[in-house]
Amino acid sequence: MRNARLTLDPAFTVGPVPHRLFGSFVEHMGRCVYTGIFEPDHPTADEDGLRGDVLELTKQLAPTVVRYPGGNFVSGFDWEDSVGPREERPRRIDRAWRSVETNQFGLAEFDSWARKVGTETMMAVNLGTRGLQDACNLLEYTNLNSGTKYSDLRVAHGTKDPLDIKLWCLGNELDGPWQTGHKTAHEYGRLAAETGMAMRSIDPDIELVAVGSSSRSMPTFGEWESTVLDLSYHAVDYISCHAYYEEKDGDAASFLASAVDMDLFIDQVVATADAVRAKGKHNKRINISFDEWNVWYQSRPHHAPGVQPWDVAPRVIEDEYSITDAVVVGTLLNSLLRHADRVTIGAQAQLVNVIGLLRSEAGGEAWKQTIAHPFEQMRHLATGDVLRVATTSDKYETDKFGDVDVVDASATWNDDTSTVSLFLVNRDQSEAASVEVSLRGFDVSKVVNAKVLAATEGQDRHTTNATGSHDQVGLRPLQDVSIVDGVATVVLPPLSWAVVQVAKA
């Protein structure tokens, strides 16, 4: 048995749970849009061609914000192609994923989907092949009432009221050589500043995200953030982080410790942003928009066998997630929550089919992948204030990160409901972990909810929710939980993710 001790106190908080932390991402990539959220011929499709089954599952996940329309796609996208009468919209090549975009789903369709889901739109502008003027035109189209060229165009397209989009990404991953219109930090910093200021002159209420590093391992990481923010601090509100993790060469121990990298990434970006703040004598703080994160097996082929260049909605990076992946996603969510004072926007990438929380088949069923469970639970149960968790845990050895805590945790305190919510991971692959949680400062004495995701009889850590076996991996009651005199004891099965809630009797 492995052991850990957590100490929590209502006086030690990180800050309120940011509403936008539990977001997701819909890119015009692979089958995320077509046969993912949109499939007019599907038996469950509604009057807008939206898949009812995917919509229902999305509502259960309830992402608080959804980034759109890319991703690498946006850096070659002409937004004008995606508005107006559908029959007049052009088919265009998408260079990023070497597929064909039919534009049958566009801005108005996404807006209507987002409203049905009840989520906020986070819109990205193309700063790869286009620039300031097009970003401003799009903002005029979405946010101005009427009486100008682009606002009137929207009205002529049948959308009388402005879409009123508050959150905007100034491009995507322009630090990456793979990005159409890849730039140096200096080139991008100037462009972000100019575009941001011009957009703000149209709508002063918008919030702007500057492109940060595509991963902590980018050769330009650090220098990129520093230069970009030096040039654009006055014009932006957030800097982005993107991170994808995978198990390489069977090194599950290091993979399970991926959140160590995410913690470091966040700490280092915060330090860089604050250094620029001090150097530039700025008052405001730049926070982080962690707007792409997930497990992604990037070392595997991206396209499924049989996919040809310029296919429509090809199968691209449809990773099928295992129990191990769900446990890692649980630790990544913990990392984001632990940094809730500075990471105030999060967008898991992506919502459906493409490295998706959800999977769907054309004309067929839709289901939740293993990784959807920690996301959904935390989205609904992390409420109130994030608590600082003092952790003393047994360690295990990893090749990539040295000795790492066996137990990974985050926690929230909701004063209105007098509930502490604990999000716990046991990284040990073969031993259970006994976790003692000191909650003496809280008036809580009853376990009100305890669920776990772990392998059951006959399963192993590679078990997935696949076609024909959608619910193999899910949540089940966690039996071994008690609370006595303000100390909760939780026994976590090997390689597991769990949520435990304790409240006033």
**Interface contacts to ligand AHR, rule CB under 6 A:** 27, 29, 70-72, 172-173, 292, 349-350
CB of 324 to ligand AHR, least distance (A): 20
Q: Which is nearer to ligand AHR, 134 or 175 (CB)?
A: 175
Rounded least distance, CB 215 to ligand AHR, Å: 9
User: Going edge to edge, which strands form the sheet with 433-438?
Assistant: 390-393, 2-7, 433-438, 487-492, 481-484
**What whole-number distance in Å separates Cα of residue 340 and Cα of residue 282?**
22
CB of 82 to ligand AHR, least distance (A): 17
Helix (H) or strand (E) holding 143, with range, is: helix 132-143
Q: Which is nearer to ligand AHR, 73 or 255 (CB)?
A: 73
Report the C-alpha gap between 210 and 189 in whole angstroms: 8
Give the CA radius of gyration of the chain: 23
CA pair distance 289, 172, nearest whole angstrom: 12
Which residue from 100, 3, 7 is spatially nearest to 310, judged by alpha carbons? 100
Instruction: Choose between 292 and 385: whose C-beta lies nearer to ligand AHR.
Output: 292
Q: Are 22 and 63 in contact (CB under 8 A)?
A: yes
Compare residues 172 and 370 and give the one whose CB is closer to ligand AHR.
Answer: 172
Q: What is the phi/psi pair of residue 438, to 5°? A: -85, 120
- Rounded least distance, CB 321 to ligand AHR, Å: 15
CB nearer to ligand AHR: give 263 or 292. 292
Residue 358 pairs in a beta bridge with 352, 368
For 424-485, give the secondary structure using H, E and C.
EEECCCCCCEEEEEECCCCCCCEEEEEEEECCCCCCCCCCECECCECCCCCCEECCCEEEEC
CA distance 239 to 211: 6
Q: Which C-beta is closer to ligand AHR: that of 209 or that of 340?
A: 209
What are 362's strand-pairing partners? Answer: none
Residue type for position 355: I
For ligand AHR, which is the closer residue by CB, 220 or 438?
220
- Nearest distance from C-beta of residue 421 to ligand AHR, angstroms: 29
Q: Can you tell me the distance from the alpha carbon of 501 to that of 412, in angstroms, rounded to the nearest whole number?
A: 10
* Helix runs in 307-388, H state only: 323-338, 372-381
DSSP annotation of 33:
T
- Residue 356 carries which side chain, given as an amino acid letter? G
Looking at residue 418, its amino acid is S
CB neighbours of 88 closer than 8 A, spacing ≥ 6?
A: none
Name the 3-class secondary structure at 409.
Answer: strand
Q: Whole-angstrom distance between the N-terminal and C-terminal Cα of the chain? A: 30
**Secondary structure letter of residue 286 according to DSSP:** P
CB of 184 or CB of 298, closer to ligand AHR: 298
Residue nearest to ligand AHR (CB): 71
Measured from the CB atom, is 167 or 498 closer to ligand AHR? 167
Please report how close the Cβ of residue 97 comes to ligand AHR at its closest, in angstroms.
Answer: 8
Q: Containing H/E element for 269? A: helix 258-279
Q: Which residues are catalytic?
A: 173, 292
State in angstroms the smallest separation of the CB of 357 from ligand AHR.
13
What minimum distance in Å lies between the beta carbon of 179 and ligand AHR? 8
Smallest gap from Cβ 70 to ligand AHR, in A, equals 5
